[in-house]
C-alpha cells in the first residue's frame, strides 16, 4: 500500500444531518474528518463526498459541508449502501488514477464497510480513518473495525494519515495542520 499523498483520494461518506443525530462520538468523528479535509486540500489530494438519500436524511453537516464546498470536493447522491455501486462515483475514482482510498464517515458498519469491500475487490488499497468514522452503537463500530483488520484493510487514526502526508516537521504545512490538530484554529 502507498499512503503517499500523491497516490490518495479522500471520500467522506454520508455525514448527514438526520444520521448524525444518532451517532456515537460524533464530535470526535467530525473533528478528524475536518482535519483530513484540510490536509487533503493542503496537499491537493482529491476528495469527494456522498449523501445517502438527502431528501430524507438531509445534507452534510456543518462545518464539513462548507469546507468540502470551499475546496471544490465533488458531491454525489446515492441510494446504494456502497458508494462504488454508483457509476458516477466509480468513474470519478477511476479517473483520479489514485490507488489508495481513504474512507471516513458513517456508518462504519454499513455504508463505509460496503464501500470498503467494493473498493478492495476492485483492486484499490483501502484505508479507514479509525477516528473519522462512527456508528450508532459502539458494538457496531468495533465489529466493523475487527472486520476491516480481518480483510487486510488498513485502520489507522486520521492524524497518522495527516502526518504521513506532511512528511517533515517545521514546514508551513506542518504548522498550519498542527494548529488544527491541537485545536488552536
How does the average pLDDT of the chain come out, rounded?
95
Q: What would the mean pLDDT of 75-89 be, rounded to a whole number?
A: 97
Domain boundaries, the chain: 5-181
Q: What confidence score (pLDDT) does residue 85 get?
A: 97
Rounded distance between C-alpha atoms, residue 2 and residue 111, angstroms: 24
Q: Is the dihedral of CA 21, 24, 105, 120 positive or negative?
A: negative
Has residue 97 got a pLDDT over 80? Answer: yes
CATH 3.90.660.10 fits 5-181, yes or no: no
Radius of gyration of the chain (CA): 15
Has residue 158 got a pLDDT over 80? Answer: yes
Amino acid at each position: 500500500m502507498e499512503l503517499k499523498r500523491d497516490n490518495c483520494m479522500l471520500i467522506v461518506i454520508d455525514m448527514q444531518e438526520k444520521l448524525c443525530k444518532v451517532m456515537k462520538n460524533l464530535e470526535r468523528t467530525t473533528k478528524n474528518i475536518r482535519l483530513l479535509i484540510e490536509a487533503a486540500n493542503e496537499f491537493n489530494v482529491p476528495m469527494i463526498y456522498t449523501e445517502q438519500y438527502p431528501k430524507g436524511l438531509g445534507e452534510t453537516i456543518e462545518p464539513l459541508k462548507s469546507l468540502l464546498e470551499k475546496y471544490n470536493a465533488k458531491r454525489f447522491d446515492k441510494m446504494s449502501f456502497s458508494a462504488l455501486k454508483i457509476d458516477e462515483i466509480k468513474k470519478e475514482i477511476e479517473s483520479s488514477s489514485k490507488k489508495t482510498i481513504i474512507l471516513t464517515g458513517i456508518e462504519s458498519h454499513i455504508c463505509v464497510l460496503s464501500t470498503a469491500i467494493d473498493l478492495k475487490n476492485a483492486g484499490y488499497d483501502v484505508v479507514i480513518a479509525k477516528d473519522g468514522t462512527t456508528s450508532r452503537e459502539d458494538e457496531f463500530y468495533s465489529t466493523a473495525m475487527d472486520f476491516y483488520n480481518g480483510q487486510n484493510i488498513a485502520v489507522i487514526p486520521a492524524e497518522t494519515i495527516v502526518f504521513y502526508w506532511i512528511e517533515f516537521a517545521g514546514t508551513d504545512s506542518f504548522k498550519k495542520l498542527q494548529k488544527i490538530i491541537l485545536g488552536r484554529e
